[in-house]
């Protein structure tokens, strides 16, 4: 029941029904085939030839014993539609992180040397890679749960291809507006109020231009900067040397990242082993960064605090190691 006393599963909500797997159902088997093959590709598991034969796959599947599903006991079901997340007070981030690290370390010991997972890049136009088979299977199984009409693979492919609209006129307009601003940059000598931000909606149509505001100036001790600035460091320094260089500026760095990979975080004890390694070497090792011979610098994002534990946003740091 909801807080108002009405049944939770009442219109417009549709009551879902669980699906009972059957190897004789071609949709079930097609979904399982696609999911199994993509999972095997991700984990580097050899795929036997018979796996793509529906009859032999069905025989293999029927031999698999899946334990009966039993719902968890004592689970509180959220009935407030406005609730979006768990209370932050109920989650101990440090404990969760430590538990996760322990699990990862335990699992890593069971893997063969040099094991790595293989990410799969989605490609809807290849009919032999099972990508659209998986998506269509997922969609149709979900549709059956809620008694929604199912779609065939071609229809699913059509929908998947239009998730991100690509309208040539919008692209041309945005490119033209950007180039107009680029002329001002190349000409030089322009004030901030000479530039324009543009909001455009071709469907209405609406074109609205406004002067951009200057970037926020951040001040720390006797220094000041904006998000458009960049700090450069010359020398093939280690992580420790970078931390000390920032310390001299009154900044305590607690996190250093390169791209989407974290090179150092003061919360993780194992990261202290990296302190005496060159930043570029850690980037090669952790971020799998390829550094061609002509490249002279590396960009890192650093999160810092001042001596009063207040976060301080600093510019991108470029390390010139050559």
| pLDDT, tens only, 78-108 | 766 666 555 444 557 788 899 999 999 998 8
What is the per-residue pLDDT for 233? 93
Q: Which residues of 151-175 are buried (b: 16+ CB within 10 A; e: fewer)?
A: eeeeebbeebeeeeeeeeeeeeeee
- Site of tokens 């984990």: 43
Rg over CA atoms, the chain: 28
| pLDDT, tens only, 138-190 | 999 999 999 899 988 888 888 877 655 555 678 888 999 999 999 999 998 99
What is the per-residue pLDDT for 73? 85
Which stretch of 12-26, 161-175, 271-285 has the lowest confidence by average pLDDT?
Answer: 161-175
What is the per-residue pLDDT for 83? 62
Tell me the pLDDT of the chain averaged across its residues: 87
Nearest Cα to Cα of residue 197 among 206, 187, 205, 208:
208
Q: Which residues of 27-42 are buried (b: 16+ CB within 10 A; e: fewer)?
A: ebbbbbbbebbbeebe
What mean pLDDT comes out for the span 68-74?
A: 84
CB 236 within 8 A of CB 278: yes
What is the per-residue pLDDT for 69? 85
Q: Where in the chain is the domain with CATH 1.10.10.2660?
A: 14-64+101-163
Q: What is the CATH number of domain 14-64+101-163?
A: 1.10.10.2660
Collect all residues with Cβ–Cβ distance below 8 Å to 41 and sequence separation of at least 6: 47, 118, 120
Nearest Cα to Cα of residue 198 among 212, 184, 214, 183:
212
Which stretch of 9-13, 88-92, 296-300 has the lowest confidence by average pLDDT?
Answer: 88-92
The Cα 204–Cα 207 span in angstroms is 9
Query: Tell me, which fold does domain 217-320 have in CATH?
Result: 3.10.290
The Cα 176–Cα 299 span in angstroms is 30
Q: How far is CA 133 from CA 35, 56, 126, 235, 256, in A?
A: 8, 19, 11, 52, 40
The percentage of the chain sitting over the pLDDT mark of 90, rounded to a whole number, equals 50
Q: Where in the chain is the domain with CATH 3.10.290.60?
A: 217-320
The Cα 195–Cα 186 span in angstroms is 12
What is the per-residue pLDDT for 88? 47
3-state secondary structure at position 318? strand
Q: How far is CA 317 from CA 252, 294, 322, in A?
A: 15, 19, 15
| pLDDT, tens only, 196-255 | 999 998 888 899 999 998 888 999 989 999 988 999 999 999 999 999 999 999 999 999
What is the per-residue pLDDT for 157? 84
| CA 149 to the chain's CA centroid | 31
pTM of the model: 0.45
Which stretch of 113-117, 263-267, 274-278 has the lowest confidence by average pLDDT?
Answer: 113-117
CB 195 within 8 A of CB 184: yes
Tokens coding 19: 């699906």
């Amino acid at each position: 029941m909801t807080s108002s006393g009405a049944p939770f599963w009442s219109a417009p909500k549709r009551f879902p029904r669980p699906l009972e797997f059957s190897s004789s159902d071609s949709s079930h088997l097609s979904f399982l085939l696609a999911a199994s093959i993509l999972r095997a590709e991700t984990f580097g598991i050899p795929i036997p030839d018979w796996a793509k034969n529906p009859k032999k796959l069905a025989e293999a599947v029927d031999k698999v014993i899946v334990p009966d599903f039993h719902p968890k006991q004592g689970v509180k079901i959220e009935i407030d539609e406005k609730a979006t997340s768990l209370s932050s007070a109920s989650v101990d981030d440090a404990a969760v992180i430590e538990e996760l690290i322990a699990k990862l370390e335990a699992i890593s010991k069971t893997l063969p040397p040099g094991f790595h997972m293989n990410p799969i890049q989605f490609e809807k136009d290849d009919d032999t890679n099972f990508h659209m088979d998986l998506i269509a299977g997922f969609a149709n199984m979900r549709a059956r749960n809620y008694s929604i009409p199912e779609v065939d693979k071609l229809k699913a492919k059509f929908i998947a291809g239009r998730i991100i609209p690509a309208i040539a006129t919008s692209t041309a307009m945005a490119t033209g507006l950007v180039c107009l601003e680029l002329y001002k940059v190349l000409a030089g000598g322009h004030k901030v109020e000479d530039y324009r931000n543009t909001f455009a909606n071709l469907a209405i149509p609406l074109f609205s231009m406004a002067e951009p505001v200057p970037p926020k100036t951040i001040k720390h001790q006797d220094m000041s900067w904006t998000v458009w600035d960049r700090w450069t460091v010359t020398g093939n320094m280690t992580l420790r040397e970078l931390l000390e260089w920032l310390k001299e500026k009154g900044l305590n760095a607690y996190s250093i990242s390169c791209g989407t990979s974290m090179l150092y975080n003061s919360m993780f004890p194992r990261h202290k082993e990296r302190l005496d390694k060159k930043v570029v070497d850690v980037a090669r090792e952790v971020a799998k960064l390829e550094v061609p011979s002509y490249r002279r610098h590396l960009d890192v994002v650093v999160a810092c605090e001042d001596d009063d534990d207040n976060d301080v946003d600093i510019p991108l740091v470029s390390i010139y190691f050559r």
